[in-house]
Amino acid sequence: MSFRKIDIDALEEDALGQDELDFQEIGELRPQHEVESQVNNRAQEVRSLLQRGNAAGALTTSLQDPPYGRNFGVAKARNTQTVMEVLNSIKVAEVPQLVKTLGPQEQDVLMKYLYAGMAAPEQNNSGVLLAWHEKLTEVAGQGCIVRVITDRRTV
Amino acid sequence: MSNQPIVNEFGLGPISCHAFNQDRSELAVCFNSNVVSIFRQSGGSWTLSSTLAEHDKPVTSIDWAPKSNRIVTCSQDRNAYVWTLDGQKQWKPTLVLLRINRAATFVRWSPEEDKFAVASGSRCISVCYFEEDNDWWVGKHIKKPIRSTVLSLDWHPNNVLLAAGCADMKARVFSAFIKGIDKKPAPTPWGEKLPFNTVCGEFSSGSGGWIHGVAFSPDGNSLAFTGHDSTITVVDQASGSVQTIRAPYLPYVSVLWLNESQIVAAGHDCAPHLFEKKGNEWSFSASLDSAVKKADVGTSARDTFRRMASRAQATATNDTEVHTHHQNTINSIRAFSGSRDHVEQFSTSGIDGKLVIWGTGLSRGMGNLHL
């Protein structure tokens, strides 16, 4: 008997559900259009920073205030794309130095985007992402990877 | 006191929990089964002196009251027993009425040893005390606002406040005041009026993860907790500061304060790690396991796979040895010698079936650690 698949909370009226957990971890969700316009503005800002050759600024900007919440699929995809553009435009030799300048929270967010990027290998260059992953893990350790797994605020 | 950790190997399977008696001559251990083994120290080794077999599911936690020499055990069978020595030096169990419908996960005696608290999967904590009239241990439930399994507990030195780490990603401080047993406690930063089940604080690390371990500081004014997100959070209730350290290592399971400015945490990284307070800032200081040889961080997953592919290998030939005394997850740290505000030695037990006693070097008068 596959007892491990039994939903032991099925008869529990007051079970801790996904909605409640999301609310606890993410809080009140902002309106969809607001989040999407924020993400689009950021994409423009990041692009102009990249054109001016400010890779470090583009990276930190792209990692700010990511859209969290289950119903922001479009905004999340757009933001992931923005981060990927930044990661692809930075030379591999510069990566270790850049990763060190990030704060611990930014490192955690970057790791989330690395995994989000690797989840779509047809769109993103996994080689680049793996190079970033290697350098980031050297600095932020396995703890950073563990936090990607535990955090309910997915990107 | 030697600086070298003392490793005790039993070879009887993973250790799920352990507790020492007051003079550390006896040890209660559970090897991931429904029985608790009591060992007595004789000539540097441990010999089995008795077994406590009353539970019928794996025992999850043991605590040994130092002054009153009573053992409390709890188990997945939803029961807790208080064990006392009778005239023939035999341990006799007394059932506790926990009134829970899921496994009991953690148990600790209060500092005065007149109460104990049992955490459980039925989203409550049963605070148990002895009712003279009925000659029975009864439990009173702390329910709100716990939303999931409670995984760990720690008592405040005032015998009233109780910290709980929970699988709903929150650490909370409750009042476990029992009328008729406790006297009105002196005011602490956690509050003044403390009727039963008062929530004195609710904290989270911010990046999710079950809270595996909680511990009050020696004076009880601060709380440290660790979660499955590899963080340690220190709450200083007196100043209101909450600091979260994002550790670069695998998650910690258990925490212990050595003194007001040092915390040890251990877990999935198989070694106890020291965190120190410098000024007002807490930070990671060192691993206390000198045998630790840092894993070769230069090899990325990519390199490994490339090397494997070039040799048509199915498994990596990397060094897979664990360079620590513990060879698997440490699931419990407990003070071994010294006082609450000046722990000199502590013990750790883990899934590798070892029980290791570590010196902190503090008995030498300085906070310098001999690594």
Looking at the 3D structure of chain B, how many domains does it have?
Answer: 1
Cis peptide before B145 (omega within 30 of 0): yes
Please give the Cα distance from B252 to B268 (Å, whole number): 6
Q: Is B39 within a domain?
A: yes
Domain residues for the domain of B259 are 13-291+329-359
Task: Provide DSSP, B205-267.
Answer: -SS---EEEEEE-TTSSEEEEEETTSEEEEEETTTTEEEEEE-SSSPEEEEEEEETTEEEEEE
Interface test with A, best of B100, B148, B207 (most A CBs within 10 A): B207
> Residue B290: what pLDDT?
76
**Are residues B140 and B181 in contact, defined by beta-carbon separation less than 8 angstroms?**
no
pLDDT score at A14: 84
Taking contacts as CB-CB distances below 8 angstroms, the residues of chain A near B209 are 146-147, 150-151
Q: What pLDDT does residue A6 have? A: 87
Instruction: Choose between B28 and A15: higher pLDDT.
Output: B28
pLDDT at B255 over 80: yes
Contacts of B298 in chain A (CB under 8 A): 138
Q: How confident is the model at residue B315 (pLDDT cuts 50, 70, 90)?
A: low
Number of Cβ atoms within 10 Å of the Cβ of B289: 22
Is the minimum CB–CB distance between B273 and chain A shorter than 8 Å? no
The pLDDT value given to residue A68:
94
CATH number at A73 reads 1.25.40.190
Provide the domain limits for residue A145: 13-150
- Residue B279 sits in a domain whose CATH number is 2.130.10.10
pLDDT one-digit tens code per residue, B114-133: 999 999 999 999 999 999 99
- Global ipTM: 0.91
A85 within a domain of the structure (yes/no) = yes
The verdict on residue B316 lying in a domain is: no
For B301, name the nearest residue in chain A, comparing CA atoms only: A134
Is A5 domain-assigned?
A: no
Residue B363: per-residue pLDDT:
47
- Looking at the structure of chain A, the number of domains it has is 1
pLDDT in tens, A45-92: 999 999 999 999 999 999 999 999 988 999 999 999 999 999 999 999
